[in-house]
Amino acid sequence: MQAIDPEVEKKLLVKEYRNLLKALRPNLEPGEKKEIREAFALAMEAHSGMRRKSGESYIFHPLAVANICAKEIGLGKTAIICALLHDVVEDTDVTLEDIEIKFGSKVANIIDGLTKIAGVVGKTNSIQAENFRKILLTLADDVRVILIKLADRLHNMRTLEAMGRNNQLKIASETLVLFAPLAHRLGLYSIKNELEDLSLKYTEPIVYKEITQKLQQSKIQRNKYIRKFIEPIQESLSELNFQYEIKSRPKSIYSIYSKMKKQDIPFEEVYDLFAIRIIVDSGPENEKSDCWRVYSIITDYYKPNPERLRDWISVPKGNGYESLHTTVMGQQGKWVEVQIRSRRMDDIAEKGYAAHWKYKGDEISGTDTNLEEWIKRIRELLENPESNAIDFMDDFKLNLFSDEVFIFTPKGDLITLPAMATALDFAFDIHTMVGTHCLGAKVNHRLVPLSYKLKNGDQVEIITSKKQKPTEDWLNYVVTAKAKSRIKASLKDEKRKIAQEGKDYLIKKFKNADFGWNNANIQRLVHYFKLRTSIELYFNLGVGAIDRSEVGIALKFFELSDKLGRGQTSKKPDAPINGKKPVLKAPDIVIVGDDTDLNYTFAKCCNAIPGDDIFGFVTISDGIKIHRTNCPNGIRLMSNYGYRIIRAKWSTDQIKEIRTFPAGVKLVGIDSIGIVSNITDIISKELQVNIQSITVSSIAGAFEGSIILYIYDLEHLEKLIEKIKEIKGIESVSRFQVEETVTGEEP
């Protein structure tokens, strides 16, 4: 924490407050400035003496959040007051009642939605998940809750450098999993991009730095190309007396990283590094036709790709986004994305739903059809009392990032669903009972399976039967959160009935065997059958997965064990408890937290090697697992179970003498005689590295290979990669994740 001059801090505070008033001035009504000043004064007094990790006075945080709400989202007076006071109830002696008396019930309700959960939640649920669910409960009444929360998260991400590494990973992962998709769904694209970029900065710092540097290095060349590309378009637009603005923007760092990862290509092969945006000043009656006229001008000079035309002007996205997108072939054979929109459409694209209210002349009306539809779906999810917070988040996230398809009912009503939605999704969207009893579907008057993926313009009719009910397979047929949650709820009801039958049988069996019906004995039986919970035991008995005669054998075994004085022996002879081997510690490889004596194992989903950025995760039954921070499961674990993350680092004591670690290397090159022999010679003879497996395929003169080998640490691996790159004919060498499990590990 660095010392800050009080006079300098005071001047900076005054400056930030004036910037806030300046941003609000065009929309402030008489008397509203006084209310904002009172809120600022209350926040100043409440947070007096408090400082952030960075060392600055705490009041700078709510003031920064208020500025983001005003400048970057475009919210009005009520939201700004809430932003200034969003932490006072949680962190100070100010109560909700105090706020309601001074500023009214609306402000108090919004701040209540923003106040974090206090105390400890259930052991199986994440604190972050429960907090997120509470926010959404209030969101169903007032969307400003989530807009202010996004502003709060954005400022926290901008100042995350002051936090410890552990907290950086937790907050960045949660941001990537939840808050960036929420910003996207609400149409706040610039905030969404910044949240993703900042998350990448802390989860993958090396990759972030490399992409940033390469973007900077190519900036001059890129700008030169853009000027040449837009020159003829500008001339034509000016000749036709268009009032317009042309912007160019580089793709976000995270989107470039995602493309590199998805297509397995280096930065140099990502060609669409920027997009051109043309914004025309048109009145509401002409904006659609003007956008198409601009499209016509562009295609006079550049040939469009017909498969990359996106018309979100005629049918806007569910989050209100309106724009015309096309991809054209520019100079030097480069594809260029061009976005065409009116000034109103651009405001909506930048500020999401907040801009809708601006054009409706109402700060918050809540009457936007798309917004109401989305909030209605949130309410439906929240109405399910059975789901825990983690399941809720998984269901909710399903549709945040998805594109959309537009479907018609038999009567011609338009329904919007996520891309890849099926006929069964459509049935549940109509009504829960229609989905639950869905027997089949007709699309465009033809019978289709329930798993049929809907396409734009399809007309769907659902066939139902009262005898029909959901099965486990149905979860594979749907993508919407509503359908998944309703199917899970129905299956739980069915499972509960079956489990009750199994429990009734077990009570009777215990009674006949004169064996005590208590929790300790039930748990002995759970362990005996290598299950996790009593519910699983009852259900397996109910469906016949456990032979009922085995129960009698188990009870006799327990009785014999007790007579022999073994007490609570609850495992079969010579069988490990839960069917798992004891957790063994790999000595002196990793230091978990500040303790060198804690037991741990390496997670097989990512196989960390010395030098990788790692963290420890406390599992329920397997002790501490060590994961790479960029593990496929890492982001999920850090965001959903942040309170179970433990700092971990590699020990520096003789790591190389202790053990080797599996690592994967992918090779791409030109096929030639002896190239595989050259590769294996480098690996096994020159570098003396053991190979676990090698796979090579050759097609039309090109080859791809993957090798899994045992190395000491990251430095060792990088040296090996550099050596292989020197072999003639090798085009690229990269590390790939060695995964020994298909699905995520049990947390």
Residue found under tokens 């300790």: 520
Residue found under tokens 């749907």: 478
- The DSSP output letter for 419 is T
Q: How far apart are CA 223 and CA 672, in angstroms?
A: 41
Written as one string, the DSSP assignment of 215-243 is HHHTHHHHHHHHHHHHHHHHHHHHHTT--
- For residues 194 and 255, the answer to whether their CB atoms sit within 8 Å is no
Could you tell me the maximum CA-CA distance found in the chain, to the nearest angstrom? 100
Q: How far is CA 215 from each of CA 198, 253, 259, 343, rounded to the nearest angstrom?
A: 16, 9, 15, 28
Catalytic residue among 9, 91, 112, 363: 91
- The DSSP output letter for 118 is P
Catalytic residue among 45, 90, 386, 472: 90
Based on the residue annotation, tell me whether 413 is a catalytic residue of this protein. no
**Tokens linked to 96:** 């909700």
Q: Comparing C-alpha atoms, which of 365, 350, 289 is closest to residue 324?
A: 289
Q: Comparing C-alpha atoms, which of 125, 681, 356, 468 is closest to residue 450?
A: 468
Q: State which amino acid sits at residue 166.
A: N
Q: Which residues pair with 340 in a beta bridge?
A: 278, 324
324: left (phi > 0), else alpha (psi -120 to 50), else beta?
beta
Total count of residues recorded for the chain: 747
**Tokens linked to 82:** 């809430």
Q: How far apart are CA 360 and CA 546, in angstroms?
A: 63
What distance lies between CA 77 and its chain's CA centroid?
A: 31
136: left (phi > 0), else alpha (psi -120 to 50), else beta?
alpha
549 membership: H or E segment, kind and range: helix 548-563
Burial class (CB in 10 A: 0-12, 13-18, 19+), 111: buried
Q: How far apart are CA 580 and CA 578, in angstroms?
A: 5
Q: Rounded to the nearest 5°, which phi and psi values hold at 628?
A: -75, 150
Written as one string, the DSSP assignment of 342-387 is EHHHHHHHHHTHHHHHHHHT-S-----HHHHHHHHHHHHHHT-TT-
544: left (phi > 0), else alpha (psi -120 to 50), else beta?
left
Based on the residue annotation, tell me whether 91 is a catalytic residue of this protein. yes
Q: How many CA atoms lie within 13 A of 15 on its CB side?
A: 6
Q: How far apart are CA 310 and CA 469, in angstroms?
A: 39
Q: Which residues are catalytic?
A: 90-91
